Amino acid sequence: MNIKLINIQKRYDETVALRDINLEIKAGESISVMGPSGSGKSSLVNLIAGTRKITEGEVEYNGNIVDNKTKKKVIKKEASTIKITFQNPNLQIFTKTVFDEFMFPLRNLGKHEDEASMIANVFIDKLGLTHLKDRQPHTLSSGEKRKVVLGSLLVMDPEVIIVDEPTAFLDEKSVEEFKDILNGLNKEGKTIIVVTHDVDFAKAVSTRTIIINDGSIVEDGSTENILSDEKILIENKLKYGDNNGN
Ligand SMILES: Nc1ncnc2c1ncn2[C@@H]1O[C@H](COP(=O)(O)OP(=O)(O)OP(=O)(O)O)[C@@H](O)[C@H]1O
Ligand SMILES: [Mg+2]
């Protein structure tokens, strides 16, 4: 899926979170979205996913324009192949077991129990969660929760996967696991968009980096070029390692 943002603005009451955003994302890209806290990263990726409303401007999915005059139903249909894990995984966990988290979307799609259970098990295994299958999701660590949420979206086979700060507060081992998972998905041809504060992580999972500062795109280009520029890192408060997890 190709995505185009045209003259996008996002406001929350008085706060202007995004201004004059023009952006094109091609199918199969791997992109990091970086920038200081409060700069508009989560707002941007939620507009792309259709999980927050645009204040002004348009989003095009494969050339089909979606603006605020378009019916919500159309937005849902167009955005249905884009899935996002929110910054706070607790907002996307709502069943009694890990297994049920994976089953829920499949049942919603009308799959029979046998087929649903087969698919669920494949993804539980793929994300290394087999030993946690019967656990109550709210008792999991934040890394485990993030994997459950990601996996429960992957069962729907989205074309575009957006993850908002997947590695905040995670240990090194879990960070490495997330790198492998995201790189694997991109190799399968899926578009990957990752919001991260961690320069190392961005370098490992993306070929393109977009930096947002104070609601505007200030850099957009190859990860290699942008993240090797010390001046850009300092100006945008970008660091190695990730201990920002608000
Ligand atoms: N629901 C909301 N209501 C009011 N203001 C909001 C809301 N969500 C975000 N904002 C404001 O919009 C701006 C951008 O927020 P956003 O969450 O997009 O930033 P961010 O770059 O993701 O930050 P962080 O790195 O802390 O996650 C901030 O000033 C924030 O306070
Ligand atoms: Mg955010």
Tell me the per-residue pLDDT of 7-63, one tens digit each, with 9 for 90 and over.
999 999 999 999 999 999 999 999 999 999 999 999 999 999 988 989 999 999 988
Q: Is residue 52 part of a domain?
A: yes
Q: In a mutational test of the pocket of ligand 1, which residue from 39, 46, 244 has the highest number of ligand atoms less than 8 Å from its CB?
A: 39
| Residues 70, 72, 78, 80, Cα dihedral to 10° | 170
From ligand 1's centre to the CA of 114, what distance in Å?
42
d(CA 130, CA 119): 13
**Is residue 209 domain-shared with residue 135, that is, in the same domain?**
no
pTM value?
0.93
CA distances from 31 to 40, 101, 221 (A): 16, 27, 10
Q: Is residue 74 part of a domain?
A: yes
Q: Is residue 34 part of a domain?
A: yes
- Domain with 147, as residue range(s), is 89-157
Query: How long, in residues, is the chain?
Result: 246
From ligand 2's centre to the CA of 43, what distance in Å?
7
211 lines ligand 1 (CB under 6 A): no
pLDDT in the model for residue 79: 58
Tokens of 12: 């929350």
The sign of the dihedral angle between the CA atoms of 121, 122, 124, 130 is positive
pLDDT in the model for residue 245: 41
pLDDT in the model for residue 78: 57
Domain count, the chain: 2
Confidence class for position 74, pLDDT limits 50, 70, 90: low
pLDDT in the model for residue 205: 98
From ligand 1's centre to the CA of 246, what distance in Å?
11
pLDDT in the model for residue 65: 79
246 lines ligand 1 (CB under 6 A): yes
Q: Is the pLDDT of residue 95 over 70?
A: yes
- 52 burial type by CB count under 10 A (0-12 exposed, 13-18 middle, 19+ buried): middle
**Is residue 70 domain-shared with residue 98, that is, in the same domain?**
no
d(CA 219, CA 76): 30
**Is residue 148 domain-shared with residue 165, that is, in the same domain?**
no
From ligand 2's centre to the CA of 134, what distance in Å?
30
46 lines ligand 1 (CB under 6 A): no
**Is residue 1 domain-shared with residue 75, that is, in the same domain?**
yes
CA nearest 99: which of 141, 154, 151?
A: 151
The DSSP element (H or E) to which 32 belongs, if any, is strand 30-34
**Is residue 69 domain-shared with residue 171, that is, in the same domain?**
yes
Relative to the alpha carbon of 245, which ligand is closest? Answer: 1
**Is residue 117 domain-shared with residue 93, that is, in the same domain?**
yes
Q: Is 57 helix (H, G, I), strand (E, B) or coil?
A: strand
